[in-house]
Structures are given as structure tokens and as C-alpha cells.
Amino acid sequence: MESREELAKKSREFRQWYYGRDPKLSPVAEPVAEAFQLINETLFGHIYQRPALDVKTRSLCTIAALTVLNREKQLPGHITGALNCGATKQQIVELITQMLFYGGYPCTVNSLQAAYETFQAYDKEHGKS
Amino acid sequence: MESREELAKKSREFRQWYYGRDPKLSPVAEPVAEAFQLINETLFGHIYQRPALDVKTRSLCTIAALTVLNREKQLPGHITGALNCGATKQQIVELITQMLFYGGYPCTVNSLQAAYETFQAYDKEHGKS
Amino acid sequence: MESREELAKKSREFRQWYYGRDPKLSPVAEPVAEAFQLINETLFGHIYQRPALDVKTRSLCTIAALTVLNREKQLPGHITGALNCGATKQQIVELITQMLFYGGYPCTVNSLQAAYETFQAYDKEHGKS
Amino acid sequence: MESREELAKKSREFRQWYYGRDPKLSPVAEPVAEAFQLINETLFGHIYQRPALDVKTRSLCTIAALTVLNREKQLPGHITGALNCGATKQQIVELITQMLFYGGYPCTVNSLQAAYETFQAYDKEHGKS
Amino acid sequence: MESREELAKKSREFRQWYYGRDPKLSPVAEPVAEAFQLINETLFGHIYQRPALDVKTRSLCTIAALTVLNREKQLPGHITGALNCGATKQQIVELITQMLFYGGYPCTVNSLQAAYETFQAYDKEHGKS
Amino acid sequence: MESREELAKKSREFRQWYYGRDPKLSPVAEPVAEAFQLINETLFGHIYQRPALDVKTRSLCTIAALTVLNREKQLPGHITGALNCGATKQQIVELITQMLFYGGYPCTVNSLQAAYETFQAYDKEHGKS
């Protein structure tokens, strides 16, 4: 059983690498900081680290879920993460398109728009026009 | 541009292989058979065939979507499909577990139950106890 | 402004005609009977009665909503209602099929199954085989 | 069986008439253009054309689905389409209001706001104040 | 049985107190004003008034529902209402955090952001910095 | 910072008391037992224990969320939990009824049915007819 310190360390490092930064919650969450600490240790310190499924596949599956749930604001973070895991832009676009048949045309259109904006920001940050 | 005949052939063959059978719609759908023919040509004859994303990843992403949408009745088909694509049982279980953080604890519990029943049926059909 | 007595009377009569019976809530709802009385006066005694949109169209729109929300248990009542409003079986099937592109393939398959069972029960009750 | 060329032609013409323009996807979708071509042939070239259900009813049912799914960004297109099909503003407002009882008060409020903005843009484009 | 006049009066007074104002619908809803009158009489004039569950608990439960459904635009009104009912900021934040396990991480992050903005507006209006 | 051992102990004890038993996951989840251990430590060992919001209110809010998400299979556990926290049957029924205006009529009807069955099982187990 891993200690909480180990999990916290893995969570911080993973988030920094995956998102390209360690996303901060709103200051309103300060009183529940301990709860989010545990949540992040569990999700990023353990689950995304489990070797039975590679991180790239985990990331693409998260994008699939965010697409069908129409969670547009969370897509940029996970699309960035997928690119950092080695997924190609086309693979992300393929996946979002396929989701049309599970979550409907509207969520696919909204998610493609999120992908477009995220790809542009990603290229700018990584020095491609 | 592929002809409809080619797409229809690919759709039939893919569904037979992926699901282990060509699932039939309720007889109530007979008047809209042409619509479902086009839908299946598009989804199974084209989208699942596109080489930019491998079928195993496509299948796992569909399971992610079905999990967070709590579509329990469609999980057995796609879990069977994922196994036929070479996904392991553990990979499917890993994925459903991860979805707890995107669709909630209830949809993960329901989907694990669907996985359990599907794995048992799959093993029986493939001669494992 | 219509009185509550008028709305209650219209609600009872509409429900009896539309569903072919006045559906009873679970006995657990007895302490909130007054709340449901008001809800039914509003929805069935007023909204479904408003002449600016005909009841058949209102009923089909409700089926569209139930389909994309995957509310399988409520479909039989409203499919029965649509038939009682003069919608044809094919129109109902057309509509559920179209919803595939807004709520996904799974909700359409589940709703077609509900339509199949409802049509059979309806025909039996109305003396068709 | 209609050829893909016929379906593509019908799709283009229908979208141009229904939306008042042929909506373009984000440039990010270029690698999946063939997939969207097939999707549009199926949905707009075939399903919306099927005579068993008139286009005005199909359009209102789509608005019902978009309302309960809270897909605010897709409502302007389909509200425009419904008006182009001959639906009145009041019918659209009636429908969105009825959906409160299937998708909840919030989605109805959001969709009424979308209707308000779409009606204003529609009137401006068609020369009414 | 309460008369509609009594319910309407209670609804107006409750909304004024709970939201700090009587929220107006879009002008587009004018033709359905009678329907919304009945809806508000039922929900605010009766249901929120029922003594078997206190208003503070009712308000927190509504925030829970809005969180898991990701209805961001309706959260400010009900968070304001919960504060007016005597809920503390921390209780609201606790609740939204707990919902992560039922509606997923994204809806919790979005709702915390809505809480942050609502708390700031509330403090400004009530003369706290 | 609490140790994982402390959290695990609190989680076990809370679940045993709240649900009246420690619910077991499907055997299929054995390979992800460590992940669920962390999830339960976080949710039941920490979040439900946080004193800023009492457990009864937390439980009612979870029921609100399950109702609007139509998660029928998870309602019996949390309705049992709410009763064990001192909520009355009527309070639970009041809450589910109120949710009609946030998640729609169908999810309320389904959840009332779940409440009915759970109350009967609860009374039987606790020696009331």
C-alpha cells in the first residue's frame, strides 16, 4: 500500500507533465483542500499511473467521456494531456467524431471546436505557427 | 469516394466479427431499414474502419462513453467487441474504474456489473470456465 | 385565470384519454399528493391543453425528449398517448430513429424496443393481433 | 437504394434551405471530412427527407431534444430551421416550455433565452424589426 | 386546497426573498406567461413552502442537482438562495465537492467557479469586501 | 494529514453503519481493488466525515443527485443511509418530488418507486410491517 506522501508526489508530477502545468482550483475551494488532495492522489497519483492501461489510451478515453457529456471547459486540459502523451491531432479528431454516434451531433461539434482552439494554443506554446 | 455497396459490405463483416454476430434491430424498425442501413454504413463501414485510430482504442473509447452515459444495455456488445479486438479484461475494468471521476460512482458500479456478466458469457462461448 | 377545480378536471379527463387510464403514483407519494395535484393541473390541465400547439405534436416532442434522455419506463405511456392522438406507428418509429443523431445510437435502440412492446400491447388491447 | 451522389445533393440543398446557409465545421475536422460527408448524407440527405414525418414536426422534435439535453449552441440553427419550415415563434416557445417537465426548469430557461436571441436575428435578417 | 391567488402570492414573496429579486423570464415567454404562472405557483408557492423539509435543505439539494447536471447558469440564483436561507459558504462548497463522486470532476470544478463568482457578488451586495 | 490506515478504518465503519452493510463490488473489480480502496477512503473515510456539513444533509443531497441522474440502482443504498441518518420517509419523498423541476417528471416517478421498495425492505428488516 502506497503512502499518501508517495501518491501526492506522483499526482503533482503527473499533473505538471500531463497538463503542462498544475491546474489550480478556484480560491473558493480552500476549505476543502484536503478533500481535493485525496481526490488528486487517487485519480492522478494512482489511477492514471496504473500500468495495465497506458496513459495515452486513458487520456483518449477521458476525451471520449468529456465529449459525450459535453464538458467543453475540461476538454482543453485533457486534449493537451493527450498530445503530451503522444496522441496525434488526427487521432483526437477521429475520436471526437466517432462519439457523434454515442452522444449526438451537438456534443461532437462543440468538442471539435474545443479541439481546434486547444490545438492552436498548443502549437503557439510549442513554437509552431 | 467509396460506394454504398462497399460500405455496406464492410459494415456487415465488421459487425459480424466485432460483436460475434450481426445484431438485429427490433422488427418495429422495418419501415426505417434504409435509414439504419445508412447509419451502419457510416459508423461501422467507414468510421470504425478509418486507419488513423486502431479499432481496439476506438472500442475502449466507446466503452468509456457508454459507461459515463450509463447505457448498460449496450455495454455487453461493445465489451465483447473490445475483447475481440484484443483488449484484456483488466484493461476494460481499468477503464470503467477511471470513468468514476467523469461520470460518477454509480455509472461505474453499473458498468462493472455489465462487464462481469459479459466476461462470463464470453468465457462460456469460448470454452473457458 | 382558470380555477384549480377547472384545471384538475381537465387534467383528469386528459390523462384518462391520453394514457387510456389515469396512471397512479406509488403509495409512497401519498404525503405529497397535493404537490402532484398541482403538477398535474399545470402540465396536463393547462400545458397539454394550450391550443397553440396540437396535442399530437406535443406528444411526439415528449417522445423525442424521453428518447434522448433514455427514459425507457416512461415511453410506453407517451407512445400510447401519441397513438391515441392519431400518430401512426411509423411516425413514432421515424422520430425515435432521427433522435439517434441527438442522443446517440444506444438510446434509439432502447426506445425502439420500448415502442415494439408498446405497439404489441396497444394492438392486443384494441383487438388487433 | 439511393446513390451517395443523390444523398449528398439532397443534403446540401436541405441544409442550405433549412439553416439558411450550409454550416461549416471547424477546420480541425478536415481529416474526417469523408466521415462528416457520410453523416450528413444520412441525416440530412435521407432521414430529414423521409416523407412519413413532415419536416416541421421533425424540426420541432429536434428542438425538444436539444432543449432537454441543454445543447444551447445548436438551438439557433434548429430554431431557424423550424421557422423556415413554417413553425411559428409561439409554437417553438410552447414546446420549450413543455420540456420543463421532462428536462427541468434550467434547460427551459436556457432554451428560451436561445429562442429570444434567434428570433431577433431571424427578424433582422428577414427585414422585420 | 389553496386557491391560486394564495399560491401566487406565496410564490412572489418567496422568490423575492430567496433570490433577492423576482427573476424575470425572457420577453419571448410572454405568450406562455400563464403556464409559467402555474409552474411558479406549484414550485415556489407550494413545494418550497412545504414544512416537512426545511428551505435550507431544499436549497442545498437543488444545488446538488444543478451541480451534477452541470447547469452553471442556474447556480448563482440558488447559491444566493441558500445563503439567504442561512447556509454558510463552506457548506455550499462542501456539497459541491461531494458531488464529484456522483456527477464527475468536471461538473464540480465548473460549479465551484460559479460559487466563487456568486459569493463575490453576494458580499459586494451585502457590503463585505 | 490523516494516514491511509485511519481513512480506511473510518470508511469501513461508516459504510457498515450507513448502508447497514459494507457493499461488495462485483468480483470483476478485484484487479482494481487498490483503486477502489483509495476511492472509498476519500469519499467515505474523509468527505462524508467532514463536520462542516452533517451526514443527514449530505445523504439527502446525494439522493437529490441520484434522482436527477436517474441512477435507480444506487437509490436503495442511499435511501437506507438517509433513514439511518435520521431522515424521515416523508423528507425523502419531499425531496424526490422537488427534483421533478430539475431533472423532470420521469426521474421523479422512477425514484419514488425506488423509495417505495426501499422503505418496505427497511421496515421488514427493522421489524415493522
D54-72 confidence digits (pLDDT tens): 999 999 999 999 999 999 9
Task: Report yes or no: B28 at the D interface, CB cutoff 8 Å.
Answer: no
Nearest-CA distance C77 → chain F (Å) = 11
Residue E120 C-alpha cell reads as 463575490
Does residue B128 carry a pLDDT above 90? no
Backbone angles phi, psi at A50, to 5 degrees: -65, 130
Are D109 and E35 within 8 A, CB to CB?
no
Q: Chain C: list its partners (3+ Cβ pairs within 8 Å).
A: A, B, D, E, F
**CA separation for the pair C90, D46 (Å, rounded):** 16
The span from the CA of B109 to the CA of F73, in Å, is: 9
Q: Which of C19, C28, C110 to mutate to test binding with chain F, by most F CBs within 10 Å of its CB? A: C28
Whether the pLDDT of residue F95 is over 80: the answer is yes
Q: Is ipTM over 0.90?
A: yes
pLDDT (average), residues C11-27: 94
Percent of chain E with pLDDT over 70: 99
Between B23 and D76, the more confident residue is D76
- pLDDT tier at F57, thresholds 50, 70, 90: very high
How distant is the Cα of B129 from the closest Cα of chain C, in angstroms?
Answer: 30
Q: How many CB pairs under 8 A join A and C?
A: 18
Q: Decide if C105 and A100 are in contact by the 8 Å CB cutoff.
A: no
Distance from CA of F67 to the nearest CA of E (A): 8
**C91: confidence class by pLDDT, cuts 50, 70, 90:** very high
From the list B62, B94, B97, the residue facing A102 with the nearest CB is: B62
Using the predicted structure, report yes or no on whether residue E82 has a pLDDT greater than 70: yes
The torsion angle over the Cα atoms of residues F41, F47, F50 and F52, rounded to 10 degrees, is 180
Residue A22's pLDDT is what? Answer: 83
Does residue F106 sit at the D interface (CB-CB below 8 Å)?
Answer: yes
Question: What per-residue confidence (pLDDT) applies to D22?
Answer: 83
Q: Would you say residue E129 has pLDDT above 70?
A: no
What mean pLDDT, rounded, does chain B reach? 96
pLDDT at res. F40: 98
| F82-101 average pLDDT score | 98
* Contact assessment for residue E125 and residue A37, using Cβ atoms and an 8 Å cutoff: no
Mean pLDDT for the stretch of residues C51-73 = 98
- pLDDT for res C108: 98
Contacts of E116 in chain A (CB under 8 A): 26-28
d(CA C126, CA D1): 36
Chain F residues with CB-CB distance to D100 below 8 A? 101
Contacts of E39 in chain C (CB under 8 A): 42
Rounded distance between C-alpha atoms, residue D111 and residue C60, angstroms: 19
Q: How far is E33 from chain D (nearest CA, A)?
A: 10
Interface test with A, best of E99, E109, E111 (most A CBs within 10 A): E109
Residue A44 CB-half CA count within 13 A: 22
pLDDT band at residue B127, thresholds of 50, 70 and 90? confident
Q: Is the dihedral of CA A24, A28, A33, A36 positive or negative?
A: negative
pLDDT (0 to 100) of residue C121: 97
Q: Which amino acid is at E104?
A: G
* Cβ pair C104:A102 closer than 8 A: yes
Q: Does D88 score more than 70 pLDDT? A: yes
Give residue C36's identity as a one-letter amino acid code: F
pLDDT of B129 strictly over 70: no
* pLDDT value at C1 more than 90: no
Read off the pLDDT of residues A8-38 as tens digits, 9 standing for 90 and up. Answer: 999 999 999 999 988 899 999 999 999 999 9
Q: Which residues of chain D does B32 touch, with a Cβ-Cβ cutoff of 8 Å?
A: 50
Say yes or no: D86 contacts chain F, CB-CB below 8 A: no
Residue D51, C-beta contacts closer than 8 angstroms, at least 6 positions apart: none
Q: Is the pLDDT of residue B114 over 70?
A: yes
- In sequence order, what DSSP letters do the residues of B50-102 get, joined into one string? -TTS-HHHHHHHHHHHHHHTT-GGGHHHHHHHHHHTT--HHHHHHHHHHTHHH
Q: If you average pLDDT over residues F106-124, what whole number do you get?
A: 98
Q: Which chain B residues are Cβ-neighbours of A39 within 8 angstroms?
A: 101
Q: How confident is the model at residue D101 (pLDDT cuts 50, 70, 90)?
A: very high
* List of chain C residues whose C-beta atoms are within 8 Å of the C-beta of residue E32: 50
Confidence band for F114, pLDDT divided at 50, 70 and 90: very high
Chain A residues with CB inside 8 Å of B90's CB?
A: 52
Mean pLDDT within A30-48: 98
E100 CB within 8 Å of a chain B CB: yes
Residue of chain F nearest A2, judged by CA positions: F4
Q: Which of F30, F32, F43, F70 is the best mutation test for B, with the most CBs of B within 10 A?
A: F32
Indicate yes or no: CB of D95 within 8 angstroms of CB of C58. Answer: yes
DSSP C26: P
Residue D76's closest CA among D125, D10, D42, D36? Answer: D125
**Whether residue C129 has pLDDT greater than 90:** no
Instruction: Summarize pLDDT for E99-109 with one digit per residue, the tens.
Output: 999 999 999 99
User: pTM, whole model, 2 decimals?
Assistant: 0.98
Give the pLDDT score at A129.
61
Q: How confident is the model at residue D1, as a pLDDT?
A: 77
Contact criterion met (CB < 8 Å) for F69 and E68: yes
- How many residues are there in chain D? 129
- d(CA A44, nearest CA chain D) in Å: 29
pLDDT of C45 reads: 98
- Give the pLDDT mean for B109-120: 98
| Segment E12-41, tens digit of pLDDT | 999 999 999 888 999 999 999 999 999 999
- For residue D43, the chain A residue with the least C-alpha distance is A105
CB contact under 8 A, D99 and C50: no
Residue E128 DSSP code: -
CB-nearest to F105 from D101, D105, D106 is: D101
Per residue in A62-99, pLDDT (tens digit) is 999 999 999 999 999 999 999 999 999 999 999 999 99
A93 touches chain D (CB under 8 A): yes
Q: What is the mean pLDDT of residues D2-9?
A: 95
